[in-house]
Structure 1
Amino acid sequence: MSPVRLVIFTRYPEPGKAKTRLIPALGAEGAAALHRRLTERTLEAARASGLTVEVRTTGATRAHFAAWLGDDLLLADQGEGDLGERLRRAANPAPALFIGSDLPDLTAGHLVEAAARMRTSPAVLGPAEDGGYWALGLRQPSDYLFADMPWSSDQVFALTLERLRGRGIDPALLPLLADCDRPEDLDRWPDLSGTAA
């Protein structure tokens, strides 16, 4: 098997455009600052994993991202379309392991485990507490996972699992993690948002 590409999706931390669901709790500046911290924390785990890291970007130029995240990373624009279309484009070449940038509890160990499981399973799936997934690893392009998916809903993990099993693929399941997306999530990680008492 070729080396696994770790593909991280993120956006530039521009106030008013990053982590918009957290703006009611943190304000536009605070939500953008939290997004910045989460992305940097994700990149720290990614670099420590030893995997080849590719960052799929949106919201600013490549130069802006290089200045923020470092010029040692492969940076590629996410392009147009919904999340499914952007994931489908990024899935080539396989194998690819996709993660988002909003996982406060993510460690290098999670990523190493996911890549190791991909050596023996055609797919790996990391369930998220909100019904989505925090990781999707594919040894071959699988466009059927990305079309007509109700993204940002609590059905994404179940539907993805159903589609894989419908193709005779029983994915390796990773540990359950939570992402930080909604105001009610902030109490779990008060150090991230500056809401610690």
Structure 2
Amino acid sequence: MSGLRIIVFAKAPRPGLAKTRLIPALGAAGAAALAARMLAHTLEQARASGVAAVELCASPAPGDAAWGGVELPDDIARTAQGEGDLGARMARAAQRAFEAGESCAGVLLIGTDCPALDAACLRQAANALGETDALIAPTADGGYALLGLRRFDASVFADIAWSTPAVATTTLARLDALGWSCTRLTLLYDIDEPADLVHLPPGW
């Protein structure tokens, strides 16, 4: 899909900063190491999908010392998430993409928590977005692993109780209120809590 952009939201994979809810099971260093593996995997799959330009929207900003030593592909754009809750950060990134000009035909907003969100899934999402205003890949915890949009409205992201089971339901209600068509993709599993580790791919 020409003009599509994949925006990957990620924290620097540093101990005590990334995947902190996994520290009881993996320790701070182990959780950070898994975060680094998941970041690398997500960027690899996004690039391998071949459907869009890839942007890393980072926290803290890409030039921060926390990113020192983290190897990132040279062909991805790097931007800062900035301030505010997750909704404010996602809204800002999506709006920036759409305001970049007529070249933006849509965005796929993803995190790095879902190893199953691979290149094939991203190709499926890109194809589906050509036929709908929005699409969502819900996760078993009530959130979502991917949100695709062909247009922007800040209400999609505002006043949502992030990291709760209401995230996907609330987002779908917002899309419905806007009168936008929306496609739901296959249910996926995020790796956020120790119990989620069973959903890691073999060998991880």
- Structure 1-normalised TM-score? 0.91
Q: Counterpart of 2:145 in 1: which secondary structure?
A: strand
Q: Counterpart of 1:176 in 2: which secondary structure?
A: coil
Work out whether 1:81 is the aligned partner of 2:84: yes
Give the letter aligned to residue 146 of structure 2. Answer: A
Choose 182-191 or 48-57, whichever is displaced more: 182-191
**Residue 40 (structure 2) aligns with:** 40
Offset from partner CA, 1:106-160 (integer Å, 9 cap, x none): 2111111111111110111111111001111111112001111000100000111
Work out whether 1:68 is the aligned partner of 2:71: yes
C-alpha distance in 1 between matches for 2:166 and 2:155:
16
Shift of 1:162: 1.0
Q: Percent identity?
A: 46
Choose 55-64 or 145-154, whichever is displaced more: 55-64
- Residue in structure 1 matching 2:129, options 115, 118, 121: 118
Runs of 4 or more consecutive aligned structure 1 residues displaced over 4 Å after TM superposition: none
- Residue in structure 1 matching 2:144, options 133, 139, 144: 133
Q: Counterpart of 1:53 in 2: which secondary structure?
A: strand
Give the letter aligned to residue 71 of structure 2. Answer: W
Shift of 1:8: 0.4
**Residue 17 (structure 1) aligns with:** 17
Q: Aligned pair count?
A: 192
Give the letter aligned to residue 101 of structure 1. Answer: T
**Residue 53 (structure 1) aligns with:** 54
Q: Counterpart of 2:164 in 1: which secondary structure?
A: coil
- Residue in structure 1 matching 2:93, options 90, 94, 97: 90
Choose 23-32 or 56-65, whichever is displaced more: 56-65
Offset from partner CA, 1:87-110 (integer Å, 9 cap, x none): 110012232110001111121111
- Structure 2-normalised TM-score? 0.88
Work out whether 1:164 is the aligned partner of 2:165: no
Work out whether 1:152 is the aligned partner of 2:153: no
Q: Which runs of 5+ in 2 are unaligned?
A: 99-105
Give the letter aligned to residue 54 of structure 1. Answer: E
**Residue 195 (structure 1) aligns with:** none
Q: Counterpart of 2:114 in 1: which secondary structure?
A: coil
CA gap of 1:143–1:65, structure 2 versus 1, over 3 A, is farther
C-alpha distance in 2 between matches for 1:135 and 1:66:
28
Contact 1:9 1:100 in 2 (8 A): yes
CA gap of 1:145–1:66, structure 2 versus 1, over 3 A, is farther
**Residue 203 (structure 2) aligns with:** 191
